[in-house]
Amino acid sequence: MTFKVTFNSQLKFNNDLILILLDESLKLRGNIALLDKNYDGIISEAIKLKTLNKKGSLKSIYLKKDKVIREILLYNVGNEKKINIDNAERIGGTIFSSIPKTCKKLTIYFEIDKKSKILLEELAAKVMHGVKLRSYSFYKYKLKSKDKFNNLLKEVEFKVNSVALAKKYYSPLKALEEGVFLTRNLVSEPANILTPENLAKEAEKLKILGVKVEVLKLPQIKKLKMGALLGVAMGSANEPRVVSMSWNGTKNKKSKPEVCFVGKGVTFDTGGISIKPSGGMEDMKWDMGGSGVVIGLMKALAGRKANVNISAVVGLVENMPSSKAQRPGDVVVASSGHSIEVINTDAEGRLVLADAVTYAINKFNPKRLIDLATLTGAVIVSLGPQRAGIFSNNDELASNIFDSGEKTGEKVWRMPVGEEYDDDIKSAIADMKNVGSGRGAGATSGAKFIEQFTKNIPWVHIDIAGVTWAKSNSTLYPTGGTGFGVRLLNTYVKDFIE
């Protein structure tokens, strides 16, 4: 949904709906004390009822003044010392979930203790960021019933001391929101709309922000001998695409990228000849989640004009069964020269990434490589929907990604990918096979396969199979596409590269 985010330094008494944030002391300071005085002490009287004593407590009170009935919401945010810039957006998400759907304008007030190290304007920007993230909806195809889902909210305003400073803090967050929303939109699109060709066109739209975008079509992909990716695409009437993107935000335009992001983009995954069960197969429209994150991330970085040189590659295919589809037992040769025995055509994402990773290294020669993919159900068995699994050949890079996850709330957990797993993907007739030897360590065998193509560049593989789609509402997103990975990697770039 769309509504204006604004900041105001003027105290108003005629707001549509007022939300007052209070810390656990429930003390009325500054402008909130003035509001209470103007509203005949209704706020302090409500506090005396002791219904706001716990963190997260929300109370609605009504004031009749000048023949107008006005609603005021009071919300206990807990210990002010524990509120920080990194978790403030979750307050914003909770705020959006709490306001009535009939609200047209919301004004938020919060008075920080003068001894606090937190700057009100930065906190306000993050709270507003959380409000926006939680407000996302995907009702594009609610053609006849769209009115049932419309929200009346037109504006959310935060009272600050310096409007200019608040806007300065919010500007890069707005660019980040747009990147997250693009990713959520892409994973929500049905596969009959978002074909490999159309997903490539979505990436091309980033050119307007200054991102250099190149799209390889079928003849070029064949010329580069991307046999692993082409093997996956063989069964579909929709041709594959390989898209490269680069953002040069530094003065040194010719320096090699600090990092290249690579995304799996299987726009629909039936499993191919190794076909999936029909129950839940409709979810496989978001098997392009890795590519969606990469495209959304590039939009966010370009939108906030990140001071860094970054590149990206996404491999886009559709995995379908047909008379032309590859079979279990087929052998394909990747563009790296590795031969691969395809044991299971439903382990297709790693085949796409094999050629996408090789292309990324050959084209950009990056200092670091990070790939994202909805790769395995095994990672969901291990970690559930709470964390993504990461696999890495570099302790420092893995640690940086972990720290970024803890900071943003898009949490990851490092999984093993050591030499002891090498034999798991050995093939009797080819250089490797595309699945492990048994049922165990399925997520690791997928990562181990991708590692063969990384040429020992510092690398992290992020398996986002369990976190790309939410089956219930959360603080910062509704049911559906989460956009997991965009905020995580934006923070990684900002904190550890820029």
Q: Is 350 a catalytic residue?
A: yes
Which residues does 219 contact at the CB level (< 8 Å), separation at least 6?
none
Under a CB-based contact definition with an 8 Å cutoff, are residues 184 and 482 in contact?
A: yes
The set of residues, in sequence order, having a beta carbon less than 8 Å from that of 42 and lying 6+ positions away, is 36, 61, 63, 72
Q: Give catalytic status of residue 29 as yes or no.
A: no
C-alpha distances out from residue 397 to 385, 390, 401, 452, Å? 23, 11, 6, 18
Whole-angstrom distance, CA of residue 475 vs CA of residue 134 = 7
Residue 334 contacts residue 453 (beta carbons within 8 Å): yes
Contact 166, 124 (CB under 8 A): yes
β 480-481/17-23 pair status: unpaired
Per the CB < 8 A criterion, the answer to whether 133 and 156 are in contact is: no
Q: Which helix (H) or strand (E) holds 172?
A: helix 163-188
Catalytic residue among 105, 154, 174, 276: 276
**Residue of 304, 350, 407, 448 with catalytic role:** 350
Contact between 331 and 238 under an 8 Å Cβ cutoff? The reply is no
Distance between CA atoms of residues 319 and 299, nearest Å: 27
Q: Which residues pair with 60 in a beta bridge?
A: 73
> What is the 8-class DSSP label of residue 19?
E
What three-state secondary structure class fits 371?
Answer: strand
> In 128-196, where do the E strands start and end?
155-159
Amino acid identity of residue 81, one-letter, is K
List, in order, residues 6 or more apart from 394 with CB less than 8 Å away. 368, 458, 459, 460
By annotation, the residues acting in catalysis are 276, 350
